[in-house]
Structure 1
Amino acid sequence: MSMNDLSTSKNTTVAVFDFDGTISDRHTFWRYLRFIAKPHVFWPSLLPLGLTITNVVRKKTTLMDGRVAFIERFLGGMPIETEKKYAADFIAGPLKDWIRPEAVRRLKWHQAKGHKTILVSNAPENYLVPWGQSMGFDHICGSRLEVVDQRLTGRIDGKNCVDDEKVRRLREHLGDLNDFFIYAYGDSTGDHALLEVADRPFYKNWYK
């Protein structure tokens, strides 16, 4: 069966995009934390995390565990309404300059074709969802930050949205993936599971 035959044999075409490094031209989350803390506070605040950072570099601590330490350091205890305002300012400010025009053109191509578009990223939903909604994505899922009593706890709610978790979230939303013709766009090892379930995977070549 040819690729064209395969695409017409399935009910719906879906385009799934990673965010950091795929739509954006850089990783955004630590820059979001820097944006919130302000650079003159952010960099000195890393000193207590020195051992964690060293252990991540030496692979004694996973990158995801190291990430949680950053979240706790900079977001733990913050009221959600305060963080929501930071997210809106981040989207309107630096984030808009980090979006690849080629990726936006590809997204709009899918939308013009009537394809269902989904954003699946390890970036937190706090800014990923409002940004994705502004771009017309049909569904958006990312890592979720835990909230208790209207404040961020500094922990992740559930699992980081990376690797197999991206596929699980996709199945949670779509159901049987075999019913869909899937384009997938990613740029890192955290996207490999997603790319493996795609009919048309694009790894670091989403612009072609």
Structure 2
Amino acid sequence: MNQSVNSSNPNNTEGSSTKSVAFFDFDGTITNRDSFIDFIVFYHGRFAAYFGLFRLLPFLLAYKIKLMPNWQAKEKVMTYFFKGEPLADFQTRCEQYATERIPQITRKSALQAIQKHQELGNDIYLVSASPENWLLAWCQQKEIKLLASRLEVSKGRLTGNLLGKNCYGPEKVVRIRQVVDLSHYQNVYSYGDSSGDRQMLQLADHAYYRPFR
């Protein structure tokens, strides 16, 4: 598995008219931190966020030592911080986060890699376990397609649960295959930074693990 991004043409097929496709993880790959925790701090303030995370520590530790799956730990955190929040208010804050905060935590080298793929006319997907709510506006601005976790809403309010499966690990590949016919591409690139990206990296012809650090 490649450890860094080649600064030359990522297609390695100069003169080819056949497109390539690139899949980027978000948290820790494009960003220098976990946007899930960062968003909670942005939304609730530092004190309330860290106090809540302290109360959730048993669940977070259970996840850390693999006694609780990723999706269940995420729902515990979402339920504590956001259950009952009106979707309209939540989405407004998500869009503020996307425009005001995400640019502050992105890695310059990751943005350069995205730009290089765009210059070559390649299709680009952001594939993230984070909810699509605070990623969509940023992806639209960057002209990147988005595959991400979804949040359940009932009567206009968040329930704290995920809608469908968490877009993590094997689910990333499931989501990719649902919308992308990889046989249409000459090269498939994947960029990730954690075990949650392993299957997506294995999917690629050219896999880059923690390339922007």
The normalised TM-score by structure 2 is 0.87
Partner of 1:101: 108
Q: Aligned letter for 2:142?
A: M
Write the deviation string for residues 41-80 of structure 1: whole angstroms up to 9, x where unpaired: 2222234423323323443223332121000011111111
Secondary structure of residue in 1 paired with 2:135:
helix
- Residues 1:171 and 2:177 are matched in the alignment: yes
Contact 1:129 1:141 in 2 (8 A): no
Secondary structure of residue in 2 paired with 1:117:
strand
More displaced 10-residue stretch of structure 1: 64-73 or 85-94: 85-94
Partner of 2:51: 44
Which of 77, 86, 93 in structure 1 is aligned with 2:93? 86
Q: Distance in 2 between matches of 1:107 and 1:33?
A: 26
Contact 2:29 2:193 in 1 (8 A): yes
Partner of 2:78: 71
Q: Aligned letter for 1:90?
A: Y
Q: CA deviation at 1:35?
A: 1.5
Q: Distance in 2 between matches of 1:94 and 1:25?
A: 12
Contact 2:24 2:125 in 1 (8 A): yes
Contact 1:185 1:206 in 2 (8 A): no
CA separation of 1:47 and 1:21: change in aligned 2, threshold 3 A: closer
- Residues 1:14 and 2:21 are matched in the alignment: yes
- Residues 1:53 and 2:57 are matched in the alignment: no
Q: CA deviation at 1:96?
A: 1.3
Secondary structure of residue in 2 paired with 1:202:
strand
Contact 2:193 2:209 in 1 (8 A): yes
Write the deviation string for residues 96-116 of structure 1: whole angstroms up to 9, x where unpaired: 110011111110110010101
Q: Distance in 2 between matches of 1:39 and 1:145?
A: 23
Contiguous gaps of at least 5 residues in structure 1: none
- Residues 1:203 and 2:183 are matched in the alignment: no
Q: CA deviation at 1:126?
A: 0.2
Q: CA deviation at 1:173?
A: 0.9
More displaced 10-residue stretch of structure 1: 117-126 or 178-187: 178-187
Write the deviation string for residues 139-163 of structure 1: whole angstroms up to 9, x where unpaired: 2011101111111110000011011
Partner of 1:156: 162
Q: CA deviation at 1:31?
A: 1.5
Q: Aligned letter for 2:168?
A: V
**Identical aligned residues as a percent:** 31
Which of 146, 169, 172 in structure 2 is aligned with 1:140? 146
Q: Aligned letter for 1:26?
A: R
Length, aligned pairs only: 201
Contact 2:94 2:133 in 1 (8 A): yes
Contact 1:79 1:151 in 2 (8 A): yes
Contact 1:15 1:182 in 2 (8 A): yes
Contiguous gaps of at least 5 residues in structure 2: 1-10
